[in-house]
A and B are shown apart, each in its own frame.
Chain A
């Protein structure tokens, strides 16, 4: 059996049998993994309360070559994110991030940057970062990493390069922007100020910005980007995200 130790975010836990837990966790090195932690509800030594929801823990595990249930041998708590454990809005946003990650990253798809994104967002959430901004920050980056970045470079119809100056229109089924000559603004194809397009570009770029960059913006732009992301995610994901119901923004 090949053994690994990776920092991981605990995504889901389910009681199994008398004393076991089935744990889904996002590892830095092997993506999302589901495994059984034998005796985890009894053993204080091997797992020492480190398998609670949304914790960052160092997990020791081995991958089985067949089947999708692997083995957890031990784990140690790195960060429990107390801010997520005491506030329903924060718990709901963390849950939403987990659900979106599950949809974008099927089991065993390795993406170190997704692990880092999840971890950083949990740190920010636990520190009390503004949740509306943090949601936009996470959604944009997660969609990008999952292969669904909004294409902002040129008009999706006539292919004219977007200069970054004029208004544009977002087209959900093309997952990109269009110029005003090719498409008119409507409720479904929302118009975008150049600031909104540029902010999205910054968020999607590899560089690690922080949500406080968005914080500088006025609410009008934040609301516009939020609306765009809703249309984009609804179209690309095509299914209900349970925890979204509990987000007020």
Chain B
């Protein structure tokens, strides 16, 4: 396969082994006007991410609000362009692709956003919403379109009687089902779910999560599942990356991560998840200070102002992601592990 040669994958490499999405040193800098001054301040929202998402997996990405999760997703989808680094999709370099060259790839990567109401044009009926991806792609007859829309709606559990409704006439759960249906109608391989259940009722969250998991099995999809909620990520993910301040700080298979938490930030996130067992003696870890400002990042380890284990080296030297065995990667100078 030609792309295999370009990326240097060994000839005859099994397609299953090739990551669907690879990020190398992926970085995004934004410049913003600071306060009322005219001077622009540049800050790094996503910082040198190296990450492979394997075909067929659910990769969970967690981190606090503002740590750069959505920006990373937009970089992969090329809805924002990278400042440096690269993204490969199915072995093809996306960074620097022209708008036109990007078009055929768009069909293979889709996204579901947090707020389903905001994601649906209020002036479009459900039928128009579902028809849009087909119209943009082109080449479908009217009856083909109708059939595809009906099939997809059935798949996500929306009845055809809703076709003439507008988004405001649907429930939150129905809207998100519609967003999912729209994103899957062109049969993509890769779906980004950016806080896809965060705005829904808890009972509806479970339905949508199960729907997503069922669809994944049925259609052989690969997910990048973004959430600030560790419990949700744990429920759906095969592998989890923990993001802090634009960088990945921990990366492991879900079971391994929860059995063997290594980064102090991950264990703080974990202690913030409410424990349903009232007899539990688990102590909540209280983080010392708030999230530092992206405009004036702390030197050394970005987490050190808040870290219980910080020492003088942490303030000086930035830890790199290192393999601690078992495909468990951590960016921390110390081998502290989770709270015993």
> Does B associate with A?
no
- Give residues in A with beta carbon < 8 Å to B: none
- Give residues in B with beta carbon < 8 Å to A: none
